[in-house]
Amino acid sequence: MDPLGSTTWVIAEGYIPGDSTGSGRAFESHETACVLNAGDQDAHVEVTLYFTDQEPVGPYRFTVPARRTVHQRFNDLTDPEPVPRDTDYASVLVSDVPVVVQHTRLDSRKAELALLSTVAWSTS
């Protein structure tokens, strides 16, 4: 299949709750960028984080191999520095080949889950 998607994606909403009530990784509060690379070349993705009152941080880097999806938790980004909790941020993802990005948050601060998801905003 030909490459699907765009090379630049924006997620204007970002917030990792500092608390979780669940047990185990599946129930931990998290923000995720779900990235699909349906093409035949590996996608090298660079993420820049924007904040309210400090300069942007990045690039964070991860690879989505050809014909694979990576559901990258922002919680797990640590280089150049961990993503702060309980802090508003936004992110821009730039890939060297077209990909599709969908944004999801699971919030488990309360005993019951809350979920949100939206396709990110794209341009090429």
State yes or no: residue 62 binds a second copy (CB under 8 A).
no
Q: How many residues does the chain have?
A: 124
**Residues of this chain, 64-103, that bind a second copy according to CB under 8 A:** 67-71, 86, 88-90, 92, 100-103
Q: Give the bridge partners for 67, in sequence order.
A: none
State yes or no: residue 104 binds a second copy (CB under 8 A).
yes
Answer for the pair 121, 9: CB distance below 8 angstroms, yes or no. yes
Among 23, 78, 79, 111, binds a second copy (CB under 8 A): 111
Answer for the pair 37, 43: CB distance below 8 angstroms, yes or no. yes
**Nearest-angstrom CA–CA distance, 94 and 115:** 25
Contacting positions for a second copy (CB under 8 A) = 1, 4-5, 8, 10-15, 17, 26-27, 32, 34-36, 38, 48, 50-53, 55-56, 67-71, 86, 88-90, 92, 100-107, 109-123
